[in-house]
A and B are shown apart, each in its own frame.
Chain A
Amino acid sequence: EIVLTQSPGTLSLSPGERATLSCRASQSVSSSYLAWYQQKPGQAPRLLIYGASSRATGIPDRFSGSGSGTDFTLTISRLEPEDFAVYYCQQYGSSPLYSFGQGTKLEIK
C-alpha cells in the first residue's frame, strides 16, 4: 500500500502570498496517477490538478502542480481569499485503488 504524507499539516499565509504544499509518497507513483483536490467546509472536494500537473476545467492558472516519483507539489502563485481551504493529494494504485493524503489546511494568517 502506498502512503501519501502531506506537509505541512497547516499553512498560515496572507492573501497575495505564494503557497507551496507538499505530498510525499512512500513508493514511487506514476505522475499520471497523482491528483490534487480542494475542499471547503461543508462542501464536496473539487478536482484541481490531475496527472500531477494538468489543471482541471475551470481551475485558475494560479494553481499549478509539479513533481515526479515520490515528491509532488501544489503551488498557488498568489493567494486569493477563496483559496483558503483544505487540500488533498490522491494517488491511484493497487490496493486500495485510490488513497489520499491526510490533507493540508491552508488558513489565513
Chain B
Amino acid sequence: EVQLVESGGGLVQPGGSLRLSCAASGFTFSSYWMSWVRQAPGKGLEWVANIKQDGSEKYYVDSVKGRFTISRDNAKNSLYLQMNSLRAEDTAVYYCARDRYQLLGYYMDVWGKGTTVTVSS
C-alpha cells in the first residue's frame, strides 16, 4: 500500500525550531519529487516546498524562504522539513505529498494524514 506518514509536529514558541519527518512506503521513493503542503486552522491549502528526486533542486513559497529547509534521505525513504524562526502564522497542519510530473498533468497524487504544528507562547 502506498503510504506517507508525517511526524514531528508539536507546540513551539515563536522563534523556535522544529523538524518534520515523512516516512514513505509502498513505492520507489527515490523516483519522485516530493512536497510539503500546509493548512492553517479553518483555512485553505498552501504549498510550502518541494524537492527533486536526488535533492539537487528545491523550491519554496516566498513566505518560508530562508527559514525552512526541505531535504530527503532516499536510503531511509524519508522526507524532512526543518523549520526555523517559526512564527504564529506558521501554525498549521503540515502534509507530505508525492508530486507527479507527467505529460498529462502536474499534481500531487498521494498525501499523508498530516502533522500539526502550533507556534504559540
A binding-site residues for B, Cβ under 8 Å: 32-35, 37, 39, 43-47, 50-52, 54, 56, 88, 90, 92, 95-103
Pairwise interchain contact B95-A44, C-beta atoms closer than 8 A: yes
* Contact with A45, one of B61, B103, B105, B111 (Cβ below 8 angstroms): B111
What's the count of A-B pairs with C-beta under 8 Å? Answer: 71
Residue of A nearest to B45 (CB): A100
Question: Does B100 belong to the interface (CB within 8 Å)?
Answer: yes
Once the chains are docked, how many angstroms separate the CA of A44 from the CA of B37?
A: 10
A56 touching B109 in the complex, CB below 8 Å, given contacts A96-B47, A100-B44? yes
Shortest distance from the beta carbon of B51 to any chain A beta carbon, whole Å: 11
Within 8 A of A (CB), among B97-121: 100, 103-109, 111-114
* Contact with A44, one of B50, B105, B112 (Cβ below 8 angstroms): B112
Pairwise interchain contact A54-B104, C-beta atoms closer than 8 A: yes
B27-66 vs A, CB cutoff 8 Å, 1 = contact: the mask equals 0000000010100000011110010000000010110000
Once the chains are docked, how many angstroms separate the CA of A4 from the CA of B103?
A: 22
* Contact with B45, one of A46, A52, A88 (Cβ below 8 angstroms): A88
Residue of A nearest to B108 (CB): A47
Residue of B nearest to A30 (CB): B106
Shortest distance from the beta carbon of A98 to any chain B beta carbon, whole Å: 4
Pairwise interchain contact B47-A51, C-beta atoms closer than 8 A: no
A54 neighbours in B (Cβ, 8 Å):
104-105
* Contact with B114, one of A33, A44, A47, A90 (Cβ below 8 angstroms): A44
Pairwise interchain contact B109-A99, C-beta atoms closer than 8 A: no
Shortest distance from the beta carbon of A100 to any chain B beta carbon, whole Å: 4
Once the chains are docked, how many angstroms separate the CA of A44 from the CA of B75?
A: 26
